[in-house]
Structure formats: C-alpha cells, structure tokens
Structure 1
Amino acid sequence: MKNRSFLAGILLGALLLAIVSQVNIFRSAAAVDEKAAAAEEPLLYELRTYTAHDGKLDALHARFRDHTMKLFEKHGMKNIMYWTPVDRENTLIYVIAHKNKAAAEASWKGFVSDPEWKKVAEESQRDGKLVAKVESVYMKATDYSPMK
C-alpha cells in the first residue's frame, strides 16, 4: 500500500510538473509573439473616398460586397472598414491596409491588371460608370494611436 501511495505521489508530481511546463511554454510562445508583433513595421493605411454618379451608389456597394473586397485580399490589401457618410449622398469611404508604400503600389498594380477585376468592372458598368471621383490618402498611425 505504501508503494502505491508513493507511486501515486510521484505520478501526481510528474503530472503537475508537466502542466507547469506546458503553461510556461505557452507563456514563452506568447511573449515571443508579442515581441515579434512589436518589431513588425507599422501598417500603412489608405483612406479612399469614392463619389458615385447619381443613382449608382447601390451598384457600387454591390460591386465591393460581391467582388472588390475579395480581390483586394487576393492582391495583399487588408480590408479594414467601410462607411457611408450620413451627410454626403453618393459617397463610399473605406480604409485598407498595406505593409508599406511599395507593397501598396504593387498591390494596386496587380489589382488593376487582374483579368477578374477587368471583367467585374466591365460588367458592373454596363449601364454607365459607377464612380465620378476617387480620392486617396496614405496614412501612418501616430505613436499614441490605439490602433497601429
């Protein structure tokens, strides 16, 4: 009986040691991930404002919803947020993120030359152009911004 208690104690101790070791491994991995994330270059954000032709905003939304967002991701652009202003009709505002300016330029070059995009653009504009004006601004987060 003493041997069983002794053996059970050893097994329990080994189990606790294994659990503690695993927790420490996870903590170490999390610390490495946090350090890697901190060492990464901050993202470059692009704020884009599209002014749609009268009566074309719904078609523009459909094109983004059904095609454009997926194609952005395909070409390395990260979709962040999309808005429609409450006080500006026919306007779509969105933010996408890039690794840096060179990546942004390469992504846009790939996007506009993508045969799938060309087909989508042509089909969505059968009844006339959707967009009257495009404005684009590249931005970097400030050091005090909650979102980097």
Structure 2
Amino acid sequence: MSTSRVFELRTYQAAPGMGSRMHTRFRDHTLRIFRKHNMEPLAFFSPTDGANTEDTLIYLLGFESREAAEAAWTAFRADPEWQQVKAASEANGTVVEKTESVFLTAAPYSPMS
C-alpha cells in the first residue's frame, strides 16, 4: 500500500450555459463537503484562452495517498448532503458535462514534495 502524497488535477466542462451554476455549487457547497471527507483543495483555476472559458473549471486536490483519495471520493459521492446539493443544482439540467482526472506526484525538486 502506497503512502506517498498525491495530487489530483481535475478539469470540469459545464454543460452549455451552466458555468455559473457550476462555480456557485463549488463555492457554496462542494468545497466544504470536500474538506469534510479529507480532500484538500489546493487551487482552482479558470482558463483564459480557448473556447468556453467561463464553462471550464480546473482544480487541484491533495491527498495523503492514492488509497486515501479513492476512499475520500467514495465517501464524498455517498454523502447525503452532497447528493442533495447535486440534485438541487441539477433540477433544471446537468451542470457538469465532462470530467477529466489525472493523479500526480510531485517531482523531487517541487516545492510541494
């Protein structure tokens, strides 16, 4: 079992016209629920180049290990509060259309290592 700190870089593409709703959900609910499940939000970004910049969210989470990340995501998805928030925010349609995830480890010379 690995105990090396890992980072997860996630990119969300909102459904057309749902970028504002996606950002509101993160700001008002998701961040707090992440922390409840030992997910460490490190940074959130909006791209400045390309199409649909207002509908794209890129963020970085930190975890104690890959196993901790998997356990945190399982707990997060099962959280009744998250399920309620997601359902309420999607009453008028899906908010996030596409999600990409990449797990990373810090290079030995990185300030984050």
Report if TM-score (shorter chain) is over 0.5: yes
- Which residue matches 1:64? 26
Identity %: 44
Superimposed CA distance per residue, residues 95-146 of structure 1 (whole angstroms, 9 cap, x where no aligned partner): 0011001100100000000000000000000110011100000000000112
Measured in 1, the distance between the counterparts of 2:86 and 2:59 equals 18
Superposition map of 1:1-148 within 5 A:
42-88=4-50, 89=52, 90-148=55-113
Matched position secondary structure for 2:108: coil
Matched position secondary structure for 2:112: coil
Q: Which structure has more RCO (C-alpha within 8 Å, separation ≥ 6)? A: 2
Q: CA RMSD in A?
A: 1.0
The structure number with the bigger radius of gyration is 1
Measured in 1, the distance between the counterparts of 2:98 and 2:85 equals 19
Matched position secondary structure for 1:132: strand
Q: When you count helix as a share of all residues, which structure comes out higher?
A: 1
Report the Cα offset of residue 42 of structure 1: 4.8
Q: When you count strand as a share of all residues, which structure comes out higher?
A: 2
Structure 1 segments, 4+ long, off by >3 Å, are none
Name the TM-score, length of structure 2 as normaliser: 0.92
- Unaligned 5+ segments in structure 1 are 1-40
- Unaligned 5+ segments in structure 2 are none
